[in-house]
Structure 1
Amino acid sequence: MLRPFYITGLASLSLLTAAIVYKPVSVQAQALPTGPEQAQPIDPNDPNVVRPVTQESGFLSVQGGQRLMQEANGAVSAQNYTAAVKKLQEARQVFNQLSNFYQDLAGSFSAIDNRVADSQRRKALETAQMRDEATYQLALVHRAQKQPELAVPLLVQIVRSQQPTRDLGKKAYQQLFELGFVDTPFPQAEQSSATP
């Protein structure tokens, strides 16, 4: 008497499991904004076709960051400081993301393929340098706008990133000195007379 119920229950459970397991899932690719251009979504019918990022026109690229820097320079020349700040912030973000991505890749390939790891580490350093240059320009624009409270944190970041002995680190520290945020000049002026 219990046997037909058991078979019926088992059949129902099998159908329910099949419906759950084989239920088609609809996946839609999301296009993420990447600046002026929009990323192309992955074709759901052919997800294995990967379209390469074009380095010349892509927003997340060294060329994209350099283009933003050029636009910022043009805005500074036209004394459009609001536009310059926006472009420099975007360039700084692009270079920072690139540097982080390259550093992550270098870490992933460390002890697996040192050639790839070294290449990615070199790119991470290059893009970090570009980020710091964009940060320095941004600090100068804030200074021109008479906003030292915005310039000082950026200059301190540069000194920490570049070290005070490197060119850009020295320039950033000099700006901090001129703003009165620090009171000790660096590098120290050499003594003109030798002590006996």
Structure 2
Amino acid sequence: MFTSKTTPHSRISFPNLRLCGSLLLIASLMGAAPALVGRVSAQEQPEQPEQPSQPTPVEPGTIEDFVETSTPRPNSLNNSVFSIAGGARLMEEAMAAVNQQNYTQAIAKLQDARQVYNQLSNFYLDLNNSFAGIDNRVSDSHRIRALETAQLRDQATYQLAIAYRANNQPELAIPLLVQLIRSQNPTRELGQQAYQQLFELGFVDVAYPRESSNNDAAQS
């Protein structure tokens, strides 16, 4: 029977073989580890959100200039006809037309001035009533403006009546004079002047105010 012989150098035990296999497996894993780690890192790294676009910067002074031009300023209506100053300009133009005996133009200017002052007085009176009991300071300011513009309206009314008389239109002057007396009261100077115009036109036959001599005779 044939029997194989092995030398001591050619004999490899199974435990040593398993140890070598384990070392080779560990070495291969260590060599592939950087690639695996890089792949995992690449997969796990979240995508960065897109940065929102930056707004376009505003040129210096643009907003301030817009606010400055769009914000109403006090006395900005001085150049408008619909203001106290605008009514005063109409009155000046009317008086200039009267001096030139251009009564048609004077009447037109006085009508416009009277309408402007009348509307202003009504608006200020509405504001006075709106703020009454809420803010007395604001209410009083509008009440004063309403009285001022009403007085200017009555002055324009008187001048308009005089212009109608000068233009041989007394029938148009009489209603204005009666309205003026009701607005001013007969005891005030402008009301007395309006009544005097009615007396001169013959619309009334009793003078007012009475002369001092007549008053003394009546009292005696």
Q: TM-score, normalised by structure 2?
A: 0.64
For 2:76, the equivalent position in structure 1 comes to 54
Return the alpha-carbon distance in structure 1 between the equivalents of residues 217 and 76 of structure 2: 59
More helix by percentage? 2
For 1:33, the equivalent position in structure 2 comes to none
- The structure 1 residue matched to 2:134, chosen from 108, 112, 115, is 112
| Structure 1 counterpart of 2:196, one-letter code | Q
- Matching of residues 19-38 of structure 1 within 5 Å: none
- Seen in structure 2, the aligned counterparts of structure 1 residues 127 and 194 have a Cα distance that, compared at 3 Å, is closer
Residue 50 of structure 1 deviates from its aligned partner by 5.1
- Matching of residues 116-135 of structure 1 within 5 Å: 116-135=138-157
Indicate whether 1:99 and 2:108 are aligned.
Answer: no
Return the alpha-carbon distance in structure 2 between the equivalents of residues 146 and 80 of structure 1: 13
Residue 187 of structure 1 deviates from its aligned partner by 1.1
Q: TM-score, normalised by structure 1?
A: 0.72
- Which structure 2 segments of 5+ residues have no match? 1-66
For 1:182, the equivalent position in structure 2 comes to 204
Return the alpha-carbon distance in structure 2 between the equivalents of residues 50 and 140 of structure 1: 43
Provide the secondary structure at the position in 1 that maps to 2:194: helix
Q: CA RMSD in A?
A: 1.7
Q: Give the paired residue count.
A: 149
Residue 195 of structure 1 deviates from its aligned partner by 5.7
- Which structure 1 segments of 5+ residues have no match? 1-45
Residue 92 of structure 1 deviates from its aligned partner by 0.2
For 1:136, the equivalent position in structure 2 comes to 158
- The structure 2 residue matched to 1:85, chosen from 107, 128, 142, is 107
1:52-93 CA deviation, whole Å, 9 max, x = no partner? 562320111100000000000000001111100000000000
Return the alpha-carbon distance in structure 2 between the equivalents of residues 129 and 166 of structure 1: 12
1:114-152 CA deviation, whole Å, 9 max, x = no partner? 111111001000000000000000000000011110000
| Structure 2 counterpart of 1:178, one-letter code | E
Identity of aligned residues (%): 60
Return the alpha-carbon distance in structure 2 between the equivalents of residues 74 and 194 of structure 1: 44
Return the alpha-carbon distance in structure 2 between the equivalents of residues 51 and 166 of structure 1: 39
Return the alpha-carbon distance in structure 1 between the equivalents of residues 188 and 135 of structure 2: 31
Residue 189 of structure 1 deviates from its aligned partner by 2.2
Return the alpha-carbon distance in structure 2 between the equivalents of residues 121 and 195 of structure 1: 41
